[in-house]
Structure 1
Amino acid sequence: MTLSGPSSDAAAPPRPVRVLIVDDSAIIRALIERILKTDPHITVCGFARNGQETLEALNACDPDIVVLDIEMPVMDGITALPRILEKKPKVKVLICSTLSDRGAAISIKALGLGAADCLLKPSSPTAISATGEFHQDLLRLVRHIGGAAIAAARAQADPHPPSPAPTPRADALPSRRTPAARPTPAPRPMPTRARRPKVLAIGCSTGGPAALGQILPTLKGLTVPIVVTQHMPKAFIRILAEHLATSSGMPCTEAGAGMSLEPGRAYFAPGGLHMGFTSGARGAAPAISLSDSPPENFCKPAVDPMLRGLLEVYGGPAILVAILTGMGEDGAKGCRAVADAGGRILVQDEATSVVWGMPGAVARAGLAHAILPLQEIAPAIRVACGGSQA
């Protein structure tokens, strides 16, 4: 769910990505096929008109990724999604949803059920044909997500995985390499004068809503505020925050200009705006500022300006960053600035990421103090903030 950027920003997958297109409209299926055929690294392996036909086609088609409509007769996409993942656990699902409150709410539900990402679908075949942004986003998402699925499957089948990275110092947060991870530099030693952070920053994109849904319940009652940049369209952020507040029990809200940062609350950068911060007057808590400046890394909101804003207000040693699953390299520049200033960086490992773009960029640059499976990130955050892992 990022703004449009070059569709060539992903390395070519080792073989063409196999795509199953699911939509009850023959015209929409044909239009999506036409777009996908423009990329030589993508092949359409089949079509289905509803969820039931999708389940029947999975074995014969053997897709890497399913492009799934939501509203269909016989069996809708929400009903089909968990059944698809149960039948083919390695397949990735890209939801195509219309931009509306109902479409956004259903898409958030789908992400919670295991969909890799959601793509906003124009409201008519004519709009689909005419919208270059939809073309670019569809190609990039299919290539990234499908390519990641292929790479993960190959790594799992490889009997000779890469050797693990050297074990970091005992005073560093724990790090664990997995067979699916690419060779990366060893984690950085922890800052010599590491102190308890005063703020937690989280950046994520593809796969982020599900990852947040897993870690936020464990962070309930955290003694610092949490600021989140999740790449998503404007209509989705408010609904995502509401959904996570209900599912996690943690207060979550779409950020507004002037909001004071309170411990134990999560603030989400609104779609279409970058989130920054201002110092509180006379000892008051820092407050949120919002900017309509140009996209960074093809993203708006973007992680880099959020991290720059935190540095200006808190200083490096007071910042703890967690970069979760996502496409692209947004956050890498900001993490370098935070790490160089004495802050701490955690990244999600490749094996548990839907796409190891954002966390991989930070890890490969040698900026991470720990590379962790998703299930270990929340406990590491709690320890860093002076609490127990539970």
Structure 2
Amino acid sequence: MSDPLLQTPLFSLHEEYGARMVPFAGYAMPLQYADGIMAEHQHTRTHAGLFDVSHMGQVALRPIDGDMNRVALALERIVPVDVLGLKAGRQRYGFLTNDAGGILDDLMIVNMGTWFLVVVNAACKAQDIALMQRELSSDCTVEPLPDRALLALQGPEAETALARIAPAVTTMKFMDAKAVTLDGVEAIVTRSGYTGEDGFEISVPADKAEQVARNLLAQPEVKPIGLGARDSLRLEGGLCLYGSDLDKTTSPVEGALEWAIQKARRNGGARAGGFPGADLILAQLEQGASRRRVGLLAEGRAPVRHGAELFAESEGGSPIGVVTSGAFGPTLQAPVAMGYVETAFAPVGTKVFAELRGRRIPVTVAAMPFVPVGFKR
């Protein structure tokens, strides 16, 4: 028998709002509410949506001796990003790599001034925490934060809604982080998210999560949004889903994530290399990789989904790639997908063919994001 599903602190609230609950990364999570995925997607694009992402892992890395630089340099041993250069009150996207150059997980790193907050994916959090405890404990304390919940308020009216409760958020720019008080609740707020829209991620004590969520849902701009719309929003935004678009066999360069490896960690940089898989990743940064993650637009209205093989020709030949994420894009009113192709087929505008129900349909390599981002720079 399978283990019982875990519940986030907002489980009862989801049921109260009529959510359809589904298993996800070991948790019972809301797939959608009464309005449905399409309406939830469009509401987030035009107003503001509240997502429960409390299944994610939150970890505090605290200096043993007050030296934040020591913690940053320790973290740089396991991630190929510039942590030392991350200023207080800022956050940065990164990933854990293995010795083969693959991605073990992608994550967010937040410099809170006197400690770092690391947010990892739900399905990977046990292995990520074990890795950090093993590799970093000589330089900092690695403290999992299971008593914290995480909410995401996303959409062009997210600032309007949140500012009624915490006016200080109006000064924040994309990837800023700040400790704020939300109606008496101490919270960590970052101006970021997973939809391509402006918005905030809000870390609060688990026993205060429902209070904060109800306060946000009382704002006229805000509705609860489930995993279904979260997936279609992130796909239109060209954002990767770990386990589908990224995995331990995929390098950051193959995944088109080299933008997240700053100059300081590259060949010739002040702290080049020194992370797992550095030889392969640094070589690919210079020479390229044999395959590449790309955006794909299919003709017609039928989505080309995860696992569909990609071909150079309409008939015959061996596959030249595979689709890793695909769905109907409610904003575009057209199917959108992303996947991997041999590098020769990666330029935008290249025509390839995807296997769909026993036949091959034309798809075009497209620039991402598919929908322009709404970040407040």
TM-score class, shorter: under 0.3
Structure with greater proportional strand content: 2
Higher helix share: 1
TM-score when normalising by structure 1: 0.25
TM superposition score normalised by structure 2? 0.26
Higher normalized contact order (CA 8 Å, seq sep 6+, divided by chain length) = 2
